[in-house]
Structure formats: C-alpha cells, structure tokens
Amino acid sequence: MGLLSKKDSKLILDPLADNNPITIQVLGICSALAITAELKASIVMSISVLFVMGVGNVVISLMRNIIPSKIRIIVQLVVVAFLVIIVDLVLKAFAYELSKTLSVFVGLIITNCIIMGRFEAFALGNGIWRSFLDGIGNALGYGVILIIVGFFRELLGSGTLLGFKVLGDPIEKTGLYAIGYENNGFMLLSPMALIVVGILIWVQRSRNKALIED
Amino acid sequence: MALKETLHQLKEKYKGTKMAPAFNAIHTFLYLPNETTHGGTHIKAADDLKRTMNTVIMALVPCLIFGMFNAGYQHFAALGTPVDFLSWDAFYIGLIKVLPLVVVSYGVGLAIEFLFAVIKGHEVEEGYLVTGMLVPLIVPIDLPLWMLAVAVAFGVVIGKEVFGGTGMNILNPALTIRAFLFFAYPTWMSGDKVWVHGAVERAGTADAISGETLLGAYAQNTELGYSLYDMFMGFIPGSVGETSKLLIIAGGLFLIFTKVGSWRIMLSTVIGALAMGLIFNGVADAGWIGESSKFYGLMSVPFWQHLIIGSILFGAVYMATDPVTASQTNRGKWIYGFLIGFISIMIRVFNPAYPEGVFLAILLMNVFAPTIDHYVVQGNVKRRMKRLKAKVA
C-alpha cells in the first residue's frame, strides 16, 4: 500500500485478521447471529456499520479535545444515534423490503459494542485520518465475518445466494434437489449462526498459533 | 492368531508416527494388547471403558433386532397386507432399511474419531461405540442416509470433539445428532408419516398409507388403533429401536445388574414422568381445562400410560444414564433423573405440534448436570462444616 504508511495500513489490516472484532475480541455478536440468515441482509448491515463507524470515528476525533470527559459517553451516543437514524431513513427510502428484514437491528447498531469500543479506545485519542482508517478497518473486519456467515447460512439453509437459486429449485426438484438434497433448516436458526462463528474462530485460532491461550 | 501377529507388526512399524493411534485402536479393539502392566501394586478390574461400552451394546442388540422385525411388520400392516411379526418378509424390510443406518452411523462416526485421534496425537477412544449403536435406533426408518451422515459428522465434531473427546462432552452425542436432524430436516423427523417405511413416498398417491403415531392420536382425541398390549410389546410405529417397552425394560435390568447403568437415574426418571402425569390428570379431572382445549387429549391420558407411549423409557434407560453427561453424585442423580421425566412429559403435553420431548428434556438436563452436582457437593461441605463446628464447640 503505497498510499498509507506501514503503521496506517496496520490499522486497516489488523482487524481483518489477527485482531478481528468478532472472532478475536468477540464483540458485536448479537447482530452477527440475528441478521445473517440471508447474505443480502449481511451485506447491507456491513455497509451500514462501515458508514457509521467511518463517519462516527472522524466526528468523535474532531471533537476529542472539546468533549468533557465526564459526559463523553453521552456525546458518543448522540453521534452514533444521529448516524444510525440517517442509515435507517436511507434504507427505508430506497430499500424498504430489506429494512423490514433488518427491522430493529438497524436501530440496534447504536448498541453494537464495536462502535462504542472504537470511539472510546481509539477516536478519543487519535487524529482524524488515523481514526478514519481505524473505523473503516474494524467495520471491514466485522463485515467480512458477517458476509462469510451469511454466505454459508443462506447457501445451506435456503439453497440460494442473494436470492438466486444456485442449487436448483426445491419445489420443482431441479439441480441438486433432483438427487434428494434438502435444505438444512437448522442453518436458518440463530444457534447455528453461533456454531458457524465458533467454527470460524476455531479455524482462525488453529491456523495462527499466537492466538492460542493456555 | 495370524491376524493378531500382523496387527502387532503393523503397530510396531507405525510406532511413533502420526498414524500410530489408528493402528493401536484396531489392535486394542480386537485383541487384548500384548503390553499389560507388570509388577507393582495395581487394582485389577475387568470393567474398563471397552467392557462398559460392550455391555451397553449387548443391552441394545435386542432392541435393534426387534426394530428390524417391527419395521417390516409396520410396513406391511400399513399397506393392508399384514404379515406375521416373526416372518422373513418383515425381517427382510428391516434388514435392508436398518442395516445401512447402522453402517453409516458407525462408518462416519468412527472415521471422524480416527481423524481427530491422528490430528491430536492421542489414542482413539471407545466413546463412539455406544453412540454409533444408539443413533440408528432413535431415527425414523426412512431417513435418507446422507442426512444421517451429515448429522453424525456434526454431532461428533460439535457435540464431542470440540470439548476434547470422550469423557469431556457436555451433551450426549447421540441426542445432539438427533436434535440436529430434528431442527435441520423437520419434515423427515416428525409428523405422522415418517415412522413407517414407505409412508412418505406414497403420501398423496392412491397407495397412500397412514402411519399415525400414538401421540398424535392421543393429542387429537381420536380412537387408538393399538391396544395397550401392542404398545407395551412394541408392535407400533416409531423410531427404529424404541418401540418395545418389554425389551427396553429387560435391557435396563441387564444394565442395572451389570452395574453399568445407574438405577437411580432410571428410577427417578420414571418417577418424574409419573409425577408430571399425575399432576396433569389432576388438572384434567378438576375441570380446570375444558374438553375442547388442545391440551386435553394428552392431559387426560392415565398417568402410567405415558410410560408406554413415546420414547420416555428408552431415554431413561439408555440416554439419561450416559455416565459422562449425567450427574455424578448420588443425590444429584435423583434430581437429574426426576427433572428429565418431569420435563419430558411437560413438553409432550404442551407441544402437540411435536409431541415427543424426551430428547430435548435430556439435553436440557445434560446442561444442568454440573450445576446440580455443584450444589449437592456444596451442600455436603456445608453440612460437614456445621457438624465439625458443633463438635469443636
């Protein structure tokens, strides 16, 4: 990355792998379990969080010297709430069906621990550019896991990807369904999302020995 | 002894390599190993893990054979051309339908056990021997084999290996496999049709056959097609191996006699089921619930009949007693078993859409077993502390 110094590119790349907010820090699990039954919802959720975190980190970083530390949590909440409402209204205006699927979880981005965590831990103490990169990096790390989980859950649970019937038609018995394949209903239930995330953590930890704790 | 010699040589050849556990396992399973402890003081006991597992399998074999006969018997009865129960025709259907289930269950399960043993570099454990036998007995006869294979892989990996293998698991692997099947492929695991071979394929055609279950009939207050004698002997549709209450009781007595299964858990499960049944009878008799209620049918079943419908006895004898996932303390076993029976009947009555809750109840109590043990042990500690104080003072 010629654009970014080595230190800056670390801000983006670290959360994608060895310091992933979901699989390593185990934050933001609730939404990862709730909305990943469809790939489309996962992608929209990832983009929403990307927007909220990128802009939010910049805003907090801009204000970091004028926020009295006693009320900083309230200020952070106001910023997140403001951004989330924008996302919510945009979704309702341009993707109404999808916003109904995501329902309450768009509003609950406010409570996503990753966002408040990055505001507290990073944006309050760093410059605008670095805060922006950190926000983008963590949101991407979150989004990657969401999309991986959403991919497997939709493929195995409904036999579709983004609504396309990639495995054939279950009612007319074409494609894989012709030879007796059936969708796995368990994949659509939240417990299975937890197990999929667990398997991702397992794979990641067994590949990287530095992450193994005693 | 040629085979033993060959095995021994193979074992020596692979000693210290990655594949060693696999060859050790085959050798130990088939023969007494050449290396036994010598000298020193040792307590000698014949009941090692292998012996324990084999005892349970011996207790299960009658259920399996009965299940094979029953599969064919129910198939022909539903077709309208009944055959004798102990006939070759009946056994043949059972053989070609049940044997593949057993083979797939053992094949997939043991392959995963071997794989994990080789990767982790420990010895293959005997834990899957019983699970592999239990699984075919608790699934519907027509379950597609690939579903069973997927479920076994899931159950062994997520239910057992992630916790560290045999002896470390929180949930009973056989029931984890069944729970996975139930939630993943509900159309193959519940309803009226799945319990009789051929019923699913023929549904909706001119040859449609009915395979209504007892619990369904009870729940809907319809006339029962089976006598109490049939229910007790097991001449009813159901999962492969859980219909014959007579053979389950015989197997249970065998397990108690050989001291492999805990009589406390078996007895307390039955007591728990009876208690819940009595409560429901009381509610129905007192008129707190109208005859039009959807719960009335199962609530008014005489409490003792709950034991011979559904799979509560099978669960009590073979599932709840799994020494790894059950409570370890004697008092804990009473509580654990009682709650299994109690909750099973509660789920059965309150969930008419899926009336059999035994496996859910056992899984739930598996999770609570360590908590029960903790409080039993703490209770003992407190009582002794008090006694000690009284003595000192």
Mean pLDDT throughout A175-194? 82
CA distance B93 to B80: 16
**ipTM over the 0.85 cut-off:** no
* Residue (of B311, B324, B355, B358) closest to B339 by Cα position: B358
Interchain contact, B184 vs A202, CB within 8 Å: no
Q: Which chain B residues are closer than 8 Å to A202 by Cβ?
A: 162
Q: Which chain A residues are closer than 8 Å to B186 by Cβ?
A: 185
Domain limits, chain B: 261-388
Instruction: For chain A, give the number of residues.
Output: 214
CA distance B169 to B161: 8
Q: Which amino acid is at B294?
A: K
Mean pLDDT throughout B98-122? 88
User: Does the structure show a pLDDT above 90 at B334?
Assistant: yes
Name the average pLDDT for chain B. 81
DSSP code per residue over B288-300: SS-TTSTTHHHHT
Nearest to B186 among A180, A181, A185 (CB): A185
Please say whether the beta carbons of A193 and A149 come within 8 A.
yes
Domain limits, chain A: 40-201
Name the B residues in 2-31 with CB < 8 Å from any A CB.
none
- The region of weakest confidence among A37-46, B94-103, B213-222, B272-281 is B213-222
Please report the pLDDT score of residue B106 as a whole number.
92
Phi/psi at B31 (5° precision):
-135, 160
Please report the pLDDT score of residue B382 as a whole number.
93
Please report the pLDDT score of residue B342 as a whole number.
92
pLDDT tier at B223, thresholds 50, 70, 90 = low
pLDDT tier at A99, thresholds 50, 70, 90 = confident
pLDDT tier at B221, thresholds 50, 70, 90 = low
Instruction: Give the gap in angstroms from C-alpha A186 to the nearest C-alpha of chain B.
Output: 4
Please report the pLDDT score of residue B268 as a whole number.
94
Instruction: Give the gap in angstroms from C-alpha B371 to the nearest C-alpha of chain A.
Output: 22
pLDDT tier at A1, thresholds 50, 70, 90 = very low
CA distance A148 to A162: 13
pLDDT per residue as tens digits for the range B306-315? 888 778 888 8
* Residue (of A118, A91, A102, A111) closest to A19 by Cα position: A118
Q: A113: which DSSP letter? A: H
